Amino acid sequence: MLSIRLSVVTLGSLSQLSFAAAAAASAPKCDFQPVALPLKDVQVLPRVKDSYMRGIPIKVGTPPQDLVVMPWAELNNTFLYDYEAYCDKSIIWNDVICEVRRGEYFYENASSSYHQSRDVDTAGGATVETGAKGAELGIPELLSTSLGGTDTVALTDDPQLRLDKFPLGIPRMNWDHGYTIMHALGLGANSTLLNQLSAAGRIGSRTWSIFWGRMWNSRPLDGSVVLGGYDRDKTIGENYTQRLDYSETTGCWTGMKVTVQDMQIIRRDGKSSSLFPPNYSVPVCIVPQRQLLIEAPQRVLTEFEKQTQTARVKDTGLDGASAELHWGAITYSDKSFFDGDLSISLSSGLSVRVPNDQFMVPKPYVDRNGSRLLDRSYREFLFSPLADNGNPATLGRYFLTAAYLMVNHDAGTFTLWRANPTTSSSLVPVVAEKVAADVCGGDAPGLVQPSPTAGSDVQSGEGSDGRLSSGAIAGIAASVAALAILGLAGFFLVRKRRQGRAAEGTASMMIQDHNNGDSNGLYSGGSTAYAPSGWSEMPAHEQVAAPQELYGKTDWAQGQGYGRPGDPVPYELDSNSYSRINQ
């Protein structure tokens, strides 16, 4: 317990001391302003009118090239595709489709400000990327196989947000299978983007927030990614804050592990019914760039089709699963599909209602000429059944049409609200605890969010305007002073335990925490914490008990789902399977 507490305190100090001086120099009045990046439909190719993809528009190079990027919660580096974009020709029929789906190619040879390095590391990028189960299998190979270089990156038209000599990776392998589609903007725990903005004093903490917006309906709404804070107007009601936990035992490579305790269908007449059997829940990993609403056990889909009396179309791909932009979604005819809403309730207390037009959508695809079209003769249920191979369930981008997410790497936390789908905006800066003390003299604007302590896995606030309430913050911060006292003694204990432990490519700390399960069938066990290279420690949290029944079985014999018995889900394919389903 002592070592866990020490790691929380140490993370705050180490991750903030590096840029406190720079922040003081560039923002002496402690005037931190969050950066809002639009998340919207962008016309990728000027020559093709309807060549839209949803993402963040940025400019890279000299002269500036227009690209569309996707926020990636687990990647530390930013990776851009060039003219070797690794699209599978068996599914993506020509180069124009590939160019659109990648968000336009980055032509590094056409940029006078691009400087090639030996690799991503020597370019100044992060030296570690995740290799956790469930993430795309190619991620660990990106660092050793990608080209490395630096170039100018403009996040907006504001000259203060132009990053010179920003480290970039250019993939030289097919690592993401194409269905996550676009260039990857790394916002992970050691994000080069957040690190640079923090070091320059442009933002007060390595925090980012996201609302996906609304798509595919008659009144689409742009989303946003906010760096250094969050958008208060996009939030409703209580907030729920948990620790980021990257330990292998959570099975969540983004650190954002939650438990879905109920899913209900809400019919047009207002009546609702659960898709879960009694005493059932599903631990899930929030993965904002994933292309669907949810990946969950087959039994949930079976119950959905039973209650809604719907049957998937078999002629659209892999046994009714989409092979288009919503890879793996279940396809129904537009003559027979569920037209109600869906609610998702988490064990934290958060419950969101996802409107029908955000999870039962017309089938989008990119035509041969590069235009994004909708086939309205089909409806895609943005649900993918999990194969019985131990991969964790996930909540993807369409969960963030109904929920608002904030990730604070300095505090080691993530926070969820119900989302308010509005065009209005009120940005709130989030300031790191160390910066608030050293740079702002204890009087920081916006929100100062301390690191959580052991035993504060979930904190909720009551603020009706979506603020992190003082009660929630006080609950998180109550024992910070006590931790500081214990820290000195714990420091020597942890240092002793850390000696002699090899950590190839990363500074790591291994902590075993043995808890006992309770009468509700919960389990707990050892946890492993690791840190990106360059950090001396990463918070090693107590093992959080999770429901005993994790994943349902997949009834492959009856043709439910896609693939064959024992096949992994798409992002766990081996190299011999790329041509079969890779996009």
182 within 8 A of 171, measured Cβ to Cβ: no
The pLDDT assigned to 451 comes to 65
Q: How far is CA 421 from CA 288, 455, 569, in A?
A: 17, 33, 32
Max mean pLDDT among 178-192, 281-295, 560-574 falls in: 281-295
Per-residue pLDDT tens digits for 528-555: 222 222 222 233 232 233 322 222 322 2
3-state secondary structure of 406: strand
Q: Phi first, then psi: give them for residue 165, nearest 5 degrees.
A: 55, 45
Q: Look at 2 and 343; give whichever has higher pLDDT.
A: 343
| Domains present along the chain, CATH in parentheses | 33-202 (2.40.70.10)
pLDDT for residue 1 is more than 80? no
Predicted confidence band of residue 472 (pLDDT cuts 50, 70, 90): very low
Q: Two tokens at 53? A: 């993809």
Q: Two tokens at 394? A: 């996930």
pLDDT for residue 15 is more than 80? no
260 within 8 A of 282, measured Cβ to Cβ: yes
Rounded average pLDDT over 521-532: 26
The pLDDT assigned to 380 comes to 96
Per-residue pLDDT tens digits for 340-380: 999 999 999 999 999 999 999 999 999 999 999 999 999 99
**Nearest residue to 568 via CA among 386, 330, 418, 409:** 386
The pLDDT assigned to 30 comes to 87
Rounded average pLDDT over 515-527: 26
User: Any idea what the Cα angle at residue 317 is, between residues 375 and 321, rounded to 5°?
Assistant: 85
Alpha-carbon distance of 420 to 236, in angstroms, equals: 6
Please tell me the chain's helix, strand, coil percentages from 3-state DSSP, rounded to the nearest 5: 20, 30, 50
The pLDDT assigned to 397 comes to 97
At which residue do the structure tokens 């002073």 appear?
A: 481
321 within 8 A of 561, measured Cβ to Cβ: yes
pLDDT for residue 270 is more than 90? yes
pLDDT for residue 157 is more than 70? yes
Supply the DSSP string of 171-227, one letter for each residue: --S--STTTS-SEEEE-STT-HHHHHHHHTTSSSSSEEEEE--B-SSSS-B-EEEEE
pLDDT for residue 287 is more than 60? yes
**15-29, 132-146, 205-219: range with lowest mean pLDDT:** 15-29
3-state secondary structure of 414: strand
Q: Look at 483 and 215; give whichever has higher pLDDT.
A: 215
Number of Cβ within a 10 Å radius of residue 26: 15
Alpha-carbon distance of 254 to 251, in angstroms, equals: 9
Alpha-carbon distance of 583 to 579, in angstroms, equals: 9
Q: Look at 518 and 355; give whichever has higher pLDDT.
A: 355
Q: Phi first, then psi: give them for residue 322, nearest 5 degrees.
A: -70, 145
At which residue do the structure tokens 């798409």 appear?
A: 570
Alpha-carbon distance of 39 to 55, in angstroms, equals: 5
Per-residue pLDDT tens digits for 294-340: 999 999 999 999 999 999 997 655 678 898 999 999 999 999 999 99
Per-residue pLDDT tens digits for 410-436: 999 999 999 999 999 999 999 999 999
272 within 8 A of 266, measured Cβ to Cβ: yes
pLDDT for residue 202 is more than 80? yes
What lies within 8 Å, CB to CB, of 158 at 6+ separation is none
Q: Average pLDDT over the chain, rounded to whole?
A: 77
pTM: 0.77
Per-residue pLDDT tens digits for 448-458: 987 665 544 44
**Nearest residue to 64 via CA among 185, 156, 200, 197:** 156
Alpha-carbon distance of 191 to 184, in angstroms, equals: 12
The pLDDT assigned to 288 comes to 97
Write out 242-302 in H/E/C secondary structure: EECCCCHHHCCCCCCEEEEEEEEEECCCCCEEECCCCCCCEEEEECCCCCCCEEEEHHHHH
Share of the chain above pLDDT 90, in %: 61
The pLDDT assigned to 492 comes to 38
The pLDDT assigned to 317 comes to 55
pLDDT for residue 276 is more than 90? yes
Alpha-carbon distance of 376 to 364, in angstroms, equals: 9
**26-40, 46-60, 101-115: range with lowest mean pLDDT:** 26-40
379 within 8 A of 361, measured Cβ to Cβ: yes
Q: Two tokens at 280? A: 């059932």
554 within 8 A of 569, measured Cβ to Cβ: no
Alpha-carbon distance of 366 to 364, in angstroms, equals: 7
